[in-house]
Amino acid sequence: MAKPERPEVLAYIALGANLGDAQASVRAAMQRVAALPQTRLVASSSLYRTAPFEATGPDFINAVVAVSTRLNAPELLLNLQRLESGAGRERPYRNAPRTLDLDILFFGDASIASPALQVPHPRLWQRAFVLVPLAEIAPTRVNPAQLAAVATQSIERILLA
């Protein structure tokens, strides 16, 4: 008897980079996330330029994507970490500049607290570089008070030429 398929779960993933060609890295990562097994892209935000927040180095390029996936949360995390490694991600110290950073913000309505993964992402409400692109593709996930709380953080939407 065939094993039943897992139901699809809507997950939101933050993407960021501030080393190398960060715009190209984030755009390529969006495509790679969409190509993960049992996963399809539902929505992607614009790209945003932000000053480092609790980090160092050049400005970041950030975005958020929504995917529908049959992967469970640990499997999705493992696949995202493989994409980071493939993009040359190193972790010499906390909040170091990075070639690619991929974070699961939400995994359906799940609440996950493990040593490897916390969902919802524990610091997403403190970061304009997450909330602004998330609000663009999922306005019901972010309320005006949450956006107002990060309004002093510098963030600029990148317009396509």
Alpha carbons 146 and 149: distance in angstroms, whole number: 5
Assigned domain for 96 exists: yes
Q: From the first residue on, what is the mean pLDDT of each consecutive set of 10 residues in the chain (161 residues)?
A: 79 93 94 96 96 80 97 96 78 61 94 89 90 97 95 90 51
Assigned domain for 4 exists: no
Assigned domain for 3 exists: no
CATH number reported for the structural domain that contains residue 108 in this entry: 3.30.70.560
Catalytic residue among 32, 40, 82, 101: 101
Catalytic residue among 6, 89, 141, 157: 89
Catalytic residue among 32, 59, 94, 103: 103
Residues 40, 61, 20, 15, Cα dihedral to 10°: -30
Assigned domain for 71 exists: yes
Assigned domain for 81 exists: yes
Assigned domain for 1 exists: no
Q: Can you give the pLDDT at residue 54?
A: 72
- Is residue 98 part of the annotated active site? The answer reads yes
Position of tokens 């570089």?
129
Q: Can you give the pLDDT at residue 87?
A: 72
Catalytic residue among 49, 98, 127, 141: 98
Q: Which pTM value belongs to this model? A: 0.90
Q: Where in the sequence is the domain holding 14, given as residue range(s)?
A: 9-157
- Is residue 89 part of the annotated active site? The answer reads yes
Measured in degrees and rounded to the nearest 5, phi and psi for residue 11 equal -120, 145
Give the count of domains, the chain. 1
Q: Can you give the pLDDT at residue 90?
A: 60
Report the DSSP pairing between strands 48-50 and 155-157. antiparallel
Assigned domain for 122 exists: yes
Q: Can you give the pLDDT at residue 14?
A: 96
Assigned domain for 2 exists: no
Taking Cα atoms as reference points, which of 120, 123, 131, 122 lies closest to residue 155?
131
Cβ atoms of residues 53 and 129 within 8 Å: yes
